Structure 1
Amino acid sequence: MAADSVAPAAILTAVLTLAGCGSGDSTVSKTPEAGPGPAPTSVAKPAAKPAPSPAPAPADPCAVNLAAPEIARAVSELPRDPRSNQAWSPEPVAGNYNECAQLSAVIVRANTNSENPNTRAVLFHLGKFIPTGVPDTYGFNGVDRSASTGDTVALQYSGGFHGLASTVKFRWNGGGVELMGNVG
């Protein structure tokens, strides 16, 4: 009789299990209809990471760089302006400083509130300040880059007597700076 009581219980369990998995319980019938509301989420591939941007190219040491720290160091070594007795401003007014040129220059002005502060050129050989052996460079207020070369700097002076402008060239001769004269 034990076999007779197990059979109806097994049959009842099987019928209830089949009834629970009937056609009304399919995955399709339980999927919500598309309509208002958020769309069903799906498994997506992770977004590709953007390619890393290339590292910025190192600064060209042979490019003109009027923010080079060597300029501020050189200006701090200059004797005071003889006219105002003030130090010189480390911010160049003009120049063509670069580490590769045999001769390059920056123009600085006296650090004064004067309407017309004194100016001077500071000369460099291969990016290093030339502290001695340089002809007088007071009064220049620009660099003619079109007349300058790797070993020659054309310094400009405008204003002065009758407002005349002039350009004077200085050249690195292999051992020092020499005055070449006015450019015509």
Structure 2
Amino acid sequence: MRSVKWVAVFAAALFLAGCGSSDSTVAKTPDATVTAAPSAPPSVAPTIAAGPTPPPAAADPCAINLAAPEIAKAVSDLPRDPRSQQPWSSEPLAGNYNECAPLSVVIVKANTNADNPNTRAVMFHQGRFIPTGVPDTYGFNGLDETATTGDTVALTYTSPGTGLRSVVRFRWNGNGVELIGNTG
């Protein structure tokens, strides 16, 4: 009986030795695949939310704006070109329209396919069209910016054939537009 006891003790010792802490069912199962524990997500820098985006800066009303709707409105109110009987194009050839200036101007041409369409200056006082009381402004095709100030516009005419240039200045006198100078 002693030998049976020893065999039982020996078998129990073998069983306990075979089931140590390094033992696993995966190691004893044939063709088992080992899956790695899920890894931690990659570290990502935290996103910092920006504050509210400021609205775009409002356009400066005192800046030159040759696309102002007041120009198209004024040009549409002009009588037709006396030579071609066509309306005027609302796209300025030149100008300094500014709703803050005592006097500003745009130069437009007759809406025609003629080689040399008529041109005319359209004047504004603080952004408002001056429909009457303006000296004749037909024929001007440019603006002399060096002689133009807030209350004075210097309109130019350059002859396409000869290249001769003349400048005529107009000024806002507090009540209306007056011719103040003509140079050739």
Q: Quickly name the TM-score band, shorter chain normalised.
A: 0.7 to 0.9
| CA distance 1:98–1:44, change in 2 (3 Å) | same
Pairing of 1:48-87 with structure 2 (within 5 A): 48-87=48-87
The aligned residue for residue 93 of structure 1 is 93
What amino acid maps onto 2:70 in structure 1? E
Report the CA distance between 1:50 and its aligned residue: 3.6
Structure with higher Rg: it is: 2
What secondary structure does 2:123 align onto? strand
Aligned pair 1:102/2:98, yes or no?
no
The aligned residue for residue 150 of structure 2 is 150
Query: For residues 112 and 161 of structure 1, what CA distance do their matches in structure 2 show?
Result: 20
Of the structure 1 ranges 46-55 and 83-92, higher mean CA displacement relative to structure 2 is found in 46-55
What amino acid maps onto 1:119 in structure 2? T
| CA distance 1:45–1:115, change in 2 (3 Å) | same
Of the structure 1 ranges 138-147 and 161-170, higher mean CA displacement relative to structure 2 is found in 161-170
Report the CA distance between 1:40 and its aligned residue: 4.0
* 5+ residue gaps, structure 2: 1-18, 25-33
The aligned residue for residue 16 of structure 1 is none
What amino acid maps onto 2:87 in structure 1? A
The aligned residue for residue 174 of structure 1 is 174
What amino acid maps onto 2:99 in structure 1? E
TM-score by length of structure 2 reads 0.76
The aligned residue for residue 112 of structure 1 is 112
Aligned pair 1:122/2:122, yes or no?
yes
* 5+ residue gaps, structure 1: 1-18
Report the CA distance between 1:88 and its aligned residue: 0.0
The aligned residue for residue 140 of structure 1 is 140
Query: For residues 72 and 140 of structure 2, what CA distance do their matches in structure 1 show?
Result: 18
Note the aligned Cα RMSD (angstroms).
2.8
What secondary structure does 1:66 align onto? coil
TM-score by length of structure 1 reads 0.76
What amino acid maps onto 1:148 in structure 2? T
Query: For residues 115 and 49 of structure 1, what CA distance do their matches in structure 2 show?
Result: 59
The aligned residue for residue 6 of structure 2 is none
| CA distance 1:24–1:147, change in 2 (3 Å) | farther
What secondary structure does 2:70 align onto? helix
Report percent identity of matched pairs. 66
